[in-house]
Structure 1
């Protein structure tokens, strides 16, 4: 048996055997196991298994941290040893019934955005590269001026950077239909209806260059380019409606009746009811976020940078995906990224201090890779494997995050994209912000490292 196969076998035994496992899934860093009886879990035994960087029980799941890449391999070995492993759709149904209702709601919200994030990451990188290639300093290297750039080339770069956000409702509706058991293709079409070129463009209406269509004399109708909530609510209701119609229609008529009535009813309700209401609500949420970020003297960044990693523990930090998407779609910039990057980097700095100071070879073997993982943007190994275990490093990591978040807000750093942070995140700041970004990360790491090294960890631990 391979090393990963042996680890999988030890995990199954430590959680109470195959009969105590209801289902298994995983995210970017954690193996998530639905347990029948959590009293049968031997946490001490699990934490001593090779490659395990921490474990905890949360929202009905026992979560074992391995880190990116490793978790996929362990997951494959675990399901290979559990012949009764459930299909992924049933796993999702079981997960959604477990844990506090608020955490379930946020987890479901996160499930909708996880498949979309890769294209938004790519779009953010395209924005950063376009900013780099059109800088006067960069062009001067090739003896070029901004006016020397081909208009056709700029048009092509606009295709790269604008497409995902212009058709964002289609992506959101597609993913929402998939998560809630509807037909994704219906979700795509419904989402495309929300951004049909026949409708006045939302950006042009916002800038005053166009006017909404007034239906029935009082309902303003526009395209919903760059919006999230209208597509999410429409997708949620549409998926439920499709399933209800399909359940009450004979199989003979299903192909004709179900998509016809789903799209007819949802197009009317989405354009005339859901869209206007939730687009307004979305704007209120965006205004509140901008107001918070507008606190004087960097106070907004200080608060967000200090609290973000607390939310990572609870798993509700996925709500920030919605906020970041909205900031990018409506303002073209994402100040949240630099602030939460400071919180992530600071946890890595605190873990690095533990790794540097400890005399335990086992702690060093865990802390150094966990610190590196944090520098690549994944903090769960650092938080659960090291910092929370010794408590003070986590606290000083939060202080470092506050310090870095304050600085990021104070110097007005704004990313061109989302979802990549710390070292990979440098690609989002190539538009004359790279020095400020590096300074923020260095500051956050330094504060957390120094405080942890001096006051947060004894080398006898």
Structure 2
């Protein structure tokens, strides 16, 4: 197998050579190459390079799927060549005319929230571990009871589990300023102002133990602990305002006057205009999410489990980050995670069936690692490298996701966190729901595997690809 430097060279050559590359960036699983002339790129040649699990042209970019971890190493080698590396936010500017307005906004939404997710993943894992070690059955093994747990231990775990959500507006405002070209430090400060202890705490107000401060008799002012949209919109407006002010202010006064004006204007807008309006919008989104998740007879699992991976194909699935964050922040559990887990596991099951059934060595070498990647929570290699190529495996995966989602929905299982699924996701279910989570995955994988084996794939499809 070729080393990463050779793979990088082969990918660039298949993409039309260094002169055809405008810029290169990467996300969690894909190398994203901006081309001057897409006709010079040979996608089939790209797909034949070692470690490449699929390639396609979309949104103005040649997207080459390597999978998590691998893509970072390939990107490092690519940037050593005579190729311009760029950030995703810079590439977003280059591709801002690609796709419709909704697609562009969702891509931007993803650019903002993807960097925040690791902190929320860690928080969810801490919640799951706390749930494990405080179970009566686990404590009994050591001769303890729930009353044996000290207040200091509970306080320590609360620091681990609550901090990211208490200061979530600061994280969101920081990332939004970064994506929209403002100064991230100003975003952090504005976000922290939104959760200032001088303001009535949002959770205390929601509990009925405090009242918002009423300005002018009708504008409610309170903290925005755990809120997303007010900080997101504030970050967009603030970054654009900063760039506009910086163009007008003399360079000698820029260091003092620009941050002064941005902070003064934006915290005023955030507390009196943006916050109250978008808090209402956020409540509406949350209510709609709960309504879908509470559909009777397992319908929510059938709908979400069956359709989630179609939305992944369109590339607009980052919108779900907002929904999962809201669920965790407001109810302390995530009923969305097991449903999308079923959808992800099922695509892995379909790819596994292709890999086991196929007698073609290259297909086995592609399908089996792609299935493993899906079982670790990343489905792009399985979808674009295997299932969607032949369509039937993809459809069987959708059916498996719907069946697994149905089971998860009727059993009512929920996750303690977000953003990890299938095998890693089991860490979010370290309580009595673990067995149901395991069954959800096995059902989704089993249905997709069986249907793909029986009806979804044979090696004759290789000739008719």
Q: TM-score category by the smaller chain?
A: over 0.9
Inter-partner Cα distance in structure 1 for 2:88 and 2:279: 33
Residue 110 of structure 2 is matched in structure 1 by: 110
Q: CA contact under 8 A between 1:96 and 1:108: conserved in structure 2?
A: no
The Cα shift of 1:150 comes to: 0.4
The Cα shift of 1:83 comes to: 4.5
Q: CA contact under 8 A between 2:304 and 2:402: conserved in structure 1?
A: yes
Inter-partner Cα distance in structure 2 for 1:58 and 1:423: 30
Residue 432 of structure 2 is matched in structure 1 by: 432
1:39-97, Cα deviation, whole Å (9 max, x unpaired): 12211111111111111111111101111121112112222112444576643421334
1:193-233, Cα deviation, whole Å (9 max, x unpaired): 11111111111111211111111111111111110000000
Inter-partner Cα distance in structure 1 for 2:113 and 2:88: 17
Q: CA contact under 8 A between 2:294 and 2:300: conserved in structure 1?
A: yes
The Cα shift of 1:98 comes to: 3.0
Residue 389 of structure 1 is matched in structure 2 by: 389
> What pairs with 1:79-90 in structure 2 (closer than 5 Å)?
79-85=79-85, 90=90
Question: Larger deviation: 416-425 or 406-415?
Answer: 406-415
Inter-partner Cα distance in structure 2 for 1:159 and 1:87: 33
Residue 403 of structure 2 is matched in structure 1 by: 403
RMSD across aligned C-alpha pairs, in angstroms?
A: 1.4
Q: CA contact under 8 A between 2:24 and 2:83: conserved in structure 1?
A: no
Distance 1:432 1:112, change over 3 A: same
Structure 2 residue 421 is the aligned partner of structure 1 residue 421: yes
Structure 2 residue 74 is the aligned partner of structure 1 residue 74: yes
Residue 230 of structure 1 is matched in structure 2 by: 230
Residue 143 of structure 1 is matched in structure 2 by: 143
Q: CA contact under 8 A between 1:230 and 1:275: conserved in structure 2?
A: yes
2:98 aligned counterpart, secondary structure: coil
Residue 183 of structure 1 is matched in structure 2 by: 183
Distance 1:457 1:89, change over 3 A: closer
2:23 aligned counterpart, secondary structure: strand
> What pairs with 1:34-433 in structure 2 (closer than 5 Å)?
34-85=34-85, 90-433=90-433
1:150-178, Cα deviation, whole Å (9 max, x unpaired): 01111111111111101100110011111
Inter-partner Cα distance in structure 2 for 1:7 and 1:166: 44
Distance 1:110 1:88, change over 3 A: closer
Structure 2 gaps, min length 5: none
Residue 6 of structure 1 is matched in structure 2 by: 6
Residue 452 of structure 1 is matched in structure 2 by: 452
Alignment length (residue pairs): 461
Inter-partner Cα distance in structure 2 for 1:409 and 1:39: 46
1:297 aligned counterpart, secondary structure: coil
Inter-partner Cα distance in structure 1 for 2:87 and 2:316: 25
Inter-partner Cα distance in structure 2 for 1:356 and 1:204: 55
Q: CA contact under 8 A between 1:24 and 1:32: conserved in structure 2?
A: yes
Distance 1:62 1:235, change over 3 A: same
Question: Larger deviation: 85-94 or 143-152?
Answer: 85-94
1:258 aligned counterpart, secondary structure: helix
Distance 1:261 1:199, change over 3 A: same
Q: CA contact under 8 A between 2:25 and 2:85: conserved in structure 1?
A: no
Inter-partner Cα distance in structure 1 for 2:433 and 2:291: 23
Distance 1:8 1:326, change over 3 A: same
Q: CA contact under 8 A between 1:359 and 1:460: conserved in structure 2?
A: no
Inter-partner Cα distance in structure 2 for 1:70 and 1:138: 38
Inter-partner Cα distance in structure 1 for 2:332 and 2:50: 44
Distance 1:397 1:86, change over 3 A: closer
Inter-partner Cα distance in structure 1 for 2:85 and 2:295: 50
Inter-partner Cα distance in structure 2 for 1:87 and 1:413: 38
Q: CA contact under 8 A between 1:59 and 1:103: conserved in structure 2?
A: no
1:62 aligned counterpart, secondary structure: strand
Distance 1:88 1:322, change over 3 A: closer
Distance 1:220 1:85, change over 3 A: closer
